Chain A
Amino acid sequence: MHTVTPYLALSTILFTIGAVGVLIRRNAIVVFMCVELMLNAANLALVSFSNLHGNLDGQVAAFFVMVVAAAEVVVGLAIIMTIFRSRRSASVDDASVLKW
């Protein structure tokens, strides 16, 4: 029988890489891709827990995460496009007018 630990380890590694990417990348679109990577890592954990417990609730949760991710991407990319129109840049450093 398989253990769930390798899958959780992979999920953890992907999640951390995504988090580091959010912190060190400058392009807003790449930052957004790293957020997607973190969501995907969480999905992997949910699906492997579903397999661990032998019921489908984890898969339903992963499905909901995908739906929310799709909605989030649509709005986020629209915001990035709006910022690009006014600032002519997709860098997260340039949208700093609201900074105190």
Chain B
Amino acid sequence: MTATYVILAPVMILAALGILVVRKPVHAALLLAIVMIGLAFLYASLDAPFLFAVQIVVYTGAILMLFLFVLMLVGVDVVDSLKETISGQRALALFFGAATLALLLALVGQLSLGTMKGLAHANARGNIQGIADLLFNRYVIAFEATSALLITAAIGAMVLAHRERLTPRLTQAELATRRVREFLENGRHLGPLPPPGTLARSNGVGTPALLPDGTPLDTDSLRSPESDGHALAGKVE
């Protein structure tokens, strides 16, 4: 056991256990990042500098960011409900998980695999050169197949995520006409909504502007000349 292993293994196991119990998906993603970076350092200590870099770039860089991207689209504030839909499922899953772990650990403990030979000989000409030798000689067919797989996956994702537009997009002129018509018909405020001002606590677009006395601006009051909308709009500016 190396020092890297002794330090990282408990951290990684704790982070992985955290994924089972945290309720927010974002926290699970961050815990997964801890596990993946820990694995990257273990790869580095196991004479695999190329996989160390690939692990950081592909896993924590690309895959985890993709996860966070989809989390932002699907809703970050969703929390898992603790109610079981199948009664006893969680207890059974934990029981069989523990049984699997015991079985596998007993198996690993029984094996006498000897000491690690180390990669000093295989990495003599450099780790990346060694991997390239294998990749472009013995595994070249598999390597070519992955290119087909990646292209298929990219096209598949595009087809799945694509949505056909059902109505034609409104032009700027049509939007302006509609806005003026709404102003004429029910007196809706003609200009843009007041931005979240310096008095607002957040600069998000969803946050209404605050009036000088601290109350949120009621956008319904920004109305036509006959109401007091104009005076109010002037005060906000």
Contact pick for A71, options B96, B111, B149, CB 8 Å: B149
Known interface pairs A63-B131, A82-B161. Does A68 touch B146 (Cβ–Cβ under 8 Å)? yes
> Considering the complex of A and B, which 10 residue pairs feature the smallest CB-CB distances, nearest first?
A54-B117, A1-B115, A71-B153, A20-B97, A23-B93, A78-B160, A78-B157, A16-B101, A12-B104, A17-B16
Contacts A/B (CB < 8 Å), 6 sampled: A14-B13, A14-B16, A47-B48, A56-B131, A59-B51, A93-B85
On whether A56 and B122 interact (CB within 8 A), knowing A10-B12, A13-B101, the answer reads yes
Contact with A19, one of B13, B66, B85, B100 (Cβ below 8 angstroms): B100
Contact: B46 with A7, CB < 8 Å?
yes
Contact with B along A67-84 (1 / 0, CB 8 A): 111111111011111101
- B83 to chain A: closest residue by CB: A26
**B66–A77 contact, CB under 8 A?**
yes
The reply on A24 being an interface residue by CB < 8 A is yes
How many residues from A make CB contacts under 8 Å with B?
71
Residue of A7, A20, A23, A85 touching B5 (CB-CB under 8 A): A7
Known A23-B97, A27-B80: A2·B115 in contact at CB below 8 Å? yes
Determine the distance from Cα of A43 to Cα of B51 in the docked complex, in whole angstroms. Answer: 10
Contact B118 A56 (CB under 8 A): no
Q: A13-B105, A70-B62 are in contact. List 14 more A-B contacts (CB 8 A).
A: A2-B115, A4-B113, A16-B101, A27-B78, A33-B19, A47-B42, A51-B117, A52-B117, A54-B121, A70-B63, A75-B156, A75-B157, A78-B156, A84-B74
Query: What CA separation (Å) do A53 and B94 show in the bound complex?
Result: 34
> Whose C-beta in chain B lies nearest to the C-beta of A18?
B16
Q: For the complex formed, measure the closest distance between the CB of B148 and the CB atoms of chain A, giving whole angstroms.
A: 10
B43 to chain A: closest residue by CB: A47
In whole angstroms, how far apart are the Cα atoms of A72 and B149 in the complex? 10
Interface residues in B26-50 by Cβ distance below 8 A to A read 28-29, 32, 35-36, 39, 42-43, 46-48, 50
Pick the residue among B12, B108, B131, B153 that contacts A74 (CB under 8 A).
B153
Q: Once the chains bind, are A59 and B5 in contact (CB under 8 Å)?
A: no
Instruction: From B43, B94, B119, give the contact of A20 (CB < 8 A).
Output: B94
B68 to chain A, nearest CB (A): 10
> Which of A69, A72, A90 is within 8 Å of B74, CB to CB?
A90
A-facing residues in B108-141 (Cβ within 8 Å): 108-109, 111, 113-119, 121-123, 127, 130-131, 134-135, 139
B29 touches A33 (CB 8 A): yes
In the complex with contacts A17-B20, A60-B131, A80-B74 CB distance below 8 A:
yes
In the complex, what distance in Å separates the CA atom of A25 from the CA atom of B42? 27
On chain A, the residues within 8 Å of B29 by CB distance are: 33
A23 touches B134 (CB 8 A): no
A84 to B104, alpha carbons, bound, how many Å? Answer: 36
Spot the interface stretch: B53-61, B196-204, B222-230: B53-61
Cross-chain contact A15 with B73 (CB below 8 angstroms): no
